[in-house]
Amino acid sequence: MAAFLLLRRQVGGALPRLQQPYARLSTAAARQDTLDAGCTGSKEDRGNKNRWRELPPFAPLDITAAARAILRGKGGEAEETSSSTAIRWVRRCCPDLPASLVQKLFRLRKVKKNALTAETSSTDASAEQFQLKRVSAKDYLLPGDTLFLPVNIQESSVAEKTRKFDNRNEIDFLRSLEIYKDKAIIVINKPPGMPVQGGVGIKNSIDVLAPMFEENSSEAPRLVHRLDRDCSGVLVLGRTQLSASILHAIFREKTADALADLHGYSCTYLDTEIFHVKGTQQVLQRKYVALVIGTPRHSKGLLSAPLAKVLLQDGKSERLTVKAGPNTTSVQDALTEYRVIESCPQGFTWLELFPLTGRKHQLRVHCAEVLGTPIVGDYKYGRQAHQNWSPLPAPQAIEEELLKKRRLPFGLVLGGGSVVEEQPQLHLHCKQMVLPDISAAVQGLQSEDADRDFSDLEKLSFVAPLPQHMRLSWEVLKSVNK
């Protein structure tokens, strides 16, 4: 823990002293009585009817340093950690509580902080008395500080969430998407057509429906990366604030390492043989499968093409485009490695795509504008290529099951959208993702081991099968090739 958490010995022994009153209590009820009896302030605060929820002791964590060590498989050196205000710590520990409710609790002075006073007993022995004091939203916390909230606030919040998601069919459907689950993460196979984030006109999205993935938990899973609405495949959610923060930082560090590895190359296409990828790219890997219109000039390569937003003619919509030059503003460098899986005589090509950076619409823009092969079903970046679209005939040998359409919860439809349709769906799927074992990493960060070595972290590989419309397209193109 020396690399990331402020060690207990660094706070002058204060933290062990804070924990001693709890160590002497044999049951949770006894500890609660001590909190109620020792609470200072109004009569209401001191009453036994007012129960308290104890948050974890404040222990600032350098998330970026932790992510770096996990990616590189090393331990870390002690680094100065950042402080936090009381309201930020409450939001981090209680992401299930609405921000407006948290602010209201501070305004009503319902948030308390631990305090210790020294008293002299009848035998002149020094004794410690545990007390609670009011804390304001902007008060800075010290390592070991513990905050307390009225427990009835948490109970009502959980009850409201339970009432909101009571459709058993919808819950069962969402949980059927799970590929993997442990204490730190949930991995799902996102179906095409389901938004990851909410927005104008979007009622159901993964971030809104995330509580459905949990059973009897007050903490909802959090997004750590994105997939486009019409894209499908592996999507990872963090089950805790700490695991989500570490994953955010890992994805961010992966992008930074890939750009540092570029060594000043500015050309659009690079042969992968001359581009040396750091070890961090091997620890975190994403593989997409796409069906594109046309065939790339090279069978494999690395695309280095910066992306920038441009406003469309209607003055409201925007899209991304490849843009470079000294006068370009708000440009983000983007790197994509690709490999041809199979070329089809009908003018289609199956590609494997490996994004080394995580930019919005990166794969779609690189395929359309750099390779000149837009993804099938991408009407935003490949509209012109779809103007003369002609659906392929469905061979008689195709499985009948692949041709069926079925309605799913949340307005989704299973089936349709293949190359035999007049209007195909987006053929882009996150097939595989490799991540370090975040659960083990979190356990290591929370342990007492000051010399934690992350080199022994297991790599977890998650694979999502192709959606039905892409499987049908694969079978159709394969049968025509015979």
Active site residues: 228
* Alpha-carbon span 70 to 254, nearest angstrom: 11
What Cα–Cα distance (Å) separates residue 186 from each residue in 221, 234, 280, 313, 323? 8, 10, 22, 41, 36
Phi, psi of 77 (to 5 degrees): -90, 155
Q: What tokens appear for 332 in the block?
A: 């983000």
Please calculate the CA angle 289-295-296 and round it to the nearest 5 degrees.
85
* DSSP string for residues in 418-455: STTSSSPPP-EEEEEEEEE-HHHHHHHHTSS-TT--GG
What Cα–Cα distance (Å) separates residue 130 from each residue in 13, 141, 150, 402? 16, 18, 17, 66
Residue 244 CB contacts under 8 Å (≥ 6 apart), including other chains:
221, 222, 223, 224, 237, 238
* Alpha-carbon span 370 to 359, nearest angstrom: 15
Task: Indicate the helix (H) or strand (E) that contains 158.
Answer: helix 151-164
Nearest 10 degrees: CA dihedral of 43, 45, 50, 54?
-160
Closest to 3 measured CA to CA, from 85, 70, 93, 86: 70
What Cα–Cα distance (Å) separates residue 482 from each residue in 395, 470, 476, 477? 12, 19, 10, 9
* Alpha-carbon span 351 to 294, nearest angstrom: 11
What Cα–Cα distance (Å) separates residue 105 from each residue in 48, 57, 108, 344, 412? 19, 19, 5, 62, 39
**Are 192 and 232 within 8 A, CB to CB?**
yes
User: What is the crossing angle of helices 241-261 and 63-72, to 10°?
Assistant: 60
Biggest CA–CA distance in the chain, Å, is: 95
Task: Indicate the helix (H) or strand (E) that contains 65.
Answer: helix 63-72
Closest to 146 measured CA to CA, from 31, 238, 63: 31
> What value does the CA radius of gyration of the chain take, rounded to a whole number of Å?
27
- Count how many residues are written for the chain: 482
